[in-house]
Structure 1
Amino acid sequence: MRKLENSELGRKSIEGFKQAEKTPLIIILDDIRSLHNIGSVFRTADAFLVEKIYLCGISATPPNKEINKTALGATETVAWEYRNDVVELIKELRDNGIEVWAIEQVDSAVYLNGFVPKSNRKYAVIFGNEVKGVRQEAVQLCNGAIEIPQLGTKHSLNISVSAGIVVWDIFQKNYTQADMQP
């Protein structure tokens, strides 16, 4: 076994990324306080060819030195847009046929391992504030909620960790092993 060199990883250029077919997934970050969390989500979105990120409420936007520390250039590849009002964004996305799901612990949540994305359907997933989660008004407008099963004492994951788990799960459910080759 030999560790691969960067030149052997089959990395896309910025232009190649922008032209590549995207995973039919949109990420919504609402009221995210930590700029490092925002940067980490950009990096995850780049890794799995996420279509777009919406930054809402108090979430900071690029260009930003603190976001760039963890994004490592992903703000240049992943399409993003700022929206002040997450509620209006949810309504707009749903009006355009996009299923919107809160990543939240609610009474009727579907566990992530049981969530099966429909083919030929685009999804948006909302991650909320690090302390308060996805606001209730937004949850009520969603098609549903997805919960990451947890067995420990905290039942709480960092937003960037949650995003990595959810995005990977939806990505791998959309593609075959052959599709995932660089």
Structure 2
Amino acid sequence: MSTPNPRRQLKPTDVKRLNRTWRRNTEGRLALILESVTGPFNIGSIFRTAAAFGVETIWLAGNATPPSNPKAQKTALGTDRLVEWHEPVPVAEAVRAAREDGFRVVAVELTGDAVPLHEAKLGGDVCLVLGSEDHGCSPACLEAADSVAYIPQVGRVGSVNVAVAAAISMAEARRQEWASAAG
């Protein structure tokens, strides 16, 4: 009797079973505030990644593009229906709403007091804030946030696309939770 090849791609039923196991091992709530993220493809990509990482809520702030935008739908692929989201409000209002919902608010930005993302406390109920493609998080956002973290980069480029930054940040928040649960 031969054993199945462990390196074969999983079938859809196996993927669902694997994802269900990860969901059972995930207690922390994760949310996002997207401040003035206007690129519809970025919005769609962030929503799709947020749905994959179990983000509960996304607050849009400033002049952020809603996921209902037809161009955003091309990359979101309908995943915006899996994540609760709120129409754009001023960023201080979005931060206040996140706190009232029990989230600690961590801006992802380069500031003098920012800590590397992997050293930031991202466990528990955390809301990550990502700012606009051109200017990042506004001064009002940085003032309102509980803390600030940055994504260390060693290459010759000073920044990554906001959708990529969101994905890295969500993955790190989940990684920290899963690592602490295993330890």
User: Is the shorter-chain TM-score for this pair beyond 0.5, marking a shared fold?
Assistant: yes
Partner of 1:74: 79
Q: Measure how far apart 1:100 and its partner are.
A: 0.9
The residue matched to 1:9 in structure 2 has which SS? helix
Judge conservation of contact 1:30–1:129 (CA < 8 Å) in 2.
yes
Judge conservation of contact 1:22–1:51 (CA < 8 Å) in 2.
no
Judge conservation of contact 1:25–1:51 (CA < 8 Å) in 2.
yes
Question: Which of residues 10, 19, 25 is equivalent to 1:4?
Answer: 10
Deviations 1:59-99 (A, max 9, x none): 12132221111111211111111132111221343355421
Please give the TM-score of this superposition, normalised by the length of structure 1. 0.83
Question: Which of residues 34, 42, 50 is equivalent to 1:37?
Answer: 42
**Distance across 2 between alignment mates of 1:164 and 1:92:** 22
Please give the TM-score of this superposition, normalised by the length of structure 2. 0.83
Q: Does 1:167 align with 2:173?
A: no
Q: 5+ residue gaps in structure 2?
A: 1-6
Taking only aligned residues, the RMSD between alpha carbons, in angstroms, comes to 2.6
Question: Which of residues 155, 158, 161 is equivalent to 2:158?
Answer: 155
Q: Measure how far apart 1:22 and its partner are.
A: 6.6
**Distance across 2 between alignment mates of 1:150 and 1:24:** 27
Partner of 1:86: 91
Q: Measure how far apart 1:178 and its partner are.
A: 9.1
Q: Measure how far apart 1:131 and its partner are.
A: 0.6
The residue matched to 1:10 in structure 2 has which SS? helix
Partner of 2:3: none
Structure 1 runs of 4+ off > 6 angstroms? none
AA in 1 matched with 2:178: Y
**Distance across 2 between alignment mates of 1:49 and 1:96:** 16
Partner of 2:67: 62
Q: Measure how far apart 1:36 and its partner are.
A: 0.5
Partner of 2:136: 133
**1:25–1:105 distance in 2 versus 1, CA, 3 Å:** same
Q: Does 1:52 align with 2:57?
A: yes
Q: 5+ residue gaps in structure 1?
A: none
Amino-acid identity (%): 31
**1:9–1:56 distance in 2 versus 1, CA, 3 Å:** same
**Distance across 2 between alignment mates of 1:178 and 1:73:** 32
Deviations 1:86-136 (A, max 9, x none): 112213433554211110000000101112334xx3111110010110001
Q: Measure how far apart 1:157 and its partner are.
A: 0.6
Deviations 1:133-175 (A, max 9, x none): 0001110111110100011222201000000100001012112
**Distance across 1 between alignment mates of 2:157 and 2:70:** 31
